[in-house]
Amino acid sequence: MRFKEIFSVCISAITLWPLSALAQSPGYLGKHVTLGYSNNFFPALIGPVAKSYNKGLNSTHGLNFEYTIKNRTNFCFSFQRFRTGVNINHTFIQSKVDSFGNTRNTTYNFDSKEPLLLQTNGLCFGFKFFDPGVLAPVGKYRKFELVLLFSKLTYGGKSFIIFDNYTNANPIKGKIGTGEYKFNSFALTYSLGRQRVLFDLLVLDYGIQFGVVPAALVATLNMESDYSSLSTLESVLRQETNRRLFRYETINLHIGLGFLAF
C-alpha cells in the first residue's frame, strides 16, 4: 500500500510539473511575440499640419513588435512615421560684407501657400510594465519609451519674400538654402494603457501617451523665442522643427491592433 501511494505521488508530480512550468512561463498560451499596427492621434490645436495652416489632426502610424520577457513585462520596439507642417513666423536677416567693406543685409520673410513639409521616421525602444495581478500581455500597463526621430524638412522654390536692404530693390519671391534639410532628435514618452486579448489571438491596445522633446524644451527654457541668437537658416529651421516635434509629441491618444504571433 505504501508503494502505491508513493507511485501515485510520483505520477502526479510528473504529470503536473510541465503544466506548472507552462503556467509560470511568460506569455499568453505559450506565445511571447505580438505583432501589430497602431495609431497615435490628437487634434493639432496649434498647427500647422501637412499642406495646411489650419488646425487638423496629428496622426502617427506605427508597426510594432513586442516580446514578453517576464510575467508582467514586455519589451517593445516599433517603427513610426508621420507628416506635418512647420511655419516660420519671424523675419530672418542675413548679413554679408561686400568687396568694398559695406555690410549688406538681406531680409527673408517666409511666404508660401503651404507650410514647410516635415516628414519624420521614428525608432522606438521601451518597456511595458503591467499591473500586479495580471499577466502580460493582458491588462493595464505603464510604458516608458525612447523615440529616435529622423526628420526631413522640405520647402518649395518660391517660399520666401527676399528684400535687399542695401540696394532697396523691390522684393522678389525666391528660395534660400537647399530646400531640404535633415535633422535628428529624440523624445521621451510615458504611456498609460490597457490591452485585451480577443479570441485568444487578437490584441487590442488603447490608452494615452505623454511625451517631451528635450531639445525643444531646452530652447524654451533658454528663452530662445526669436531668431536673434541663430546665425544660419539651418539653425532657424532646426529650432522650428524641434518646436513642432515638441507639440506633436506632448499628448496623444493611442489605439492599436495586433496578433499573438508565436
Distance CA(33)–CA(109), nearest Å, equals 51
Residue 19 is assigned to a structural domain of this protein: no
> 137-152, pLDDT tens digit by residue?
999 999 999 999 999 9
Say whether pTM exceeds 0.85. Answer: no
Chain centroid, CA 147 distance in Å:
6
Residue 165 is assigned to a structural domain of this protein: yes
| CATH code of 139's domain | 2.40.160.20
Give the whole-number percent of the chain exceeding pLDDT 70: 84
Grid-cell match 519609451, residue found: 145
- Residue 248, sorted as left (phi over 0), alpha (psi -120 to 50) or beta, turns out to be alpha
Residue 20 is assigned to a structural domain of this protein: no
Contact assessment for residue 224 and residue 165, using Cβ atoms and an 8 Å cutoff: no
Residue 15 is assigned to a structural domain of this protein: no
Residue 227 is assigned to a structural domain of this protein: yes
Q: Is the pLDDT of residue 6 over 60?
A: no
| Average pLDDT for the chain | 84
Chain centroid, CA 173 distance in Å:
34
pLDDT of res. 23 = 45
Among 21, 41, 39, 22, CA closest to 30: 22
Q: Which domain holds residue 255?
A: 26-260
| Residue with more model confidence, 223 or 158 | 158
Cis amide bond preceding 132, omega within 30: no
Domain total in the chain: 1
What band does 157 get if pLDDT is binned at 50, 70 and 90? confident
In angstroms, what CA-CA distances link 207 with 41, 196, 203, 256? 11, 12, 13, 9
Residue 3 is assigned to a structural domain of this protein: no
